[in-house]
Amino acid sequence: MGRGVYIGCHCVMGRADIGERTQIASGVQIISGRKQHGRASDGRILGAEHDNFETIAVGADCWIGAGAILMADVGARTTIGAGSVVAYPIPSDCIAVGNPAKVVRRLNEGVA
């Protein structure tokens, strides 16, 4: 966790690397990747002992909106809208929203 990070109440954090000055609103979940639980050939769910967890990176100077779910990396200086689901990596210097989250705006030199 970088310096100056804020994490709101009722957040769930799996394996995560959070950059400096990132702000995480309430109710955000950063889970340890999209493929945590595999299935055996007979359909049984495989447990955590099969360790398919990833570390999710969130860059410096990000804003993660309330209730967002992060399953993939978020680049530096990026805003993720409230309630968005980040299922695939989001690049730096943009605003992404939705389920799955998609870039809706690119930022010029880090300023909207």
Render pLDDT for 25-47 as a digit per residue (tens, 0 to 9).
999 999 987 666 677 788 877 76
Return the pLDDT at 40. Answer: 79
Helices (H) and strands (E) in the chain, counts: 0, 12
- Residue 52's pLDDT is 73
Between CA 46 and CA 12 the distance in angstroms is: 22
Assigned fold of 6-106: UDP N-Acetylglucosamine Acyltransferase; domain 1 (2.160.10)
Show me where the domains of the chain are located.
6-106
What pTM was computed for the model? 0.84
Fill in the amino acid letter for 97.
V
What tens digit of pLDDT does each residue of 54-65 get? 899 999 999 999
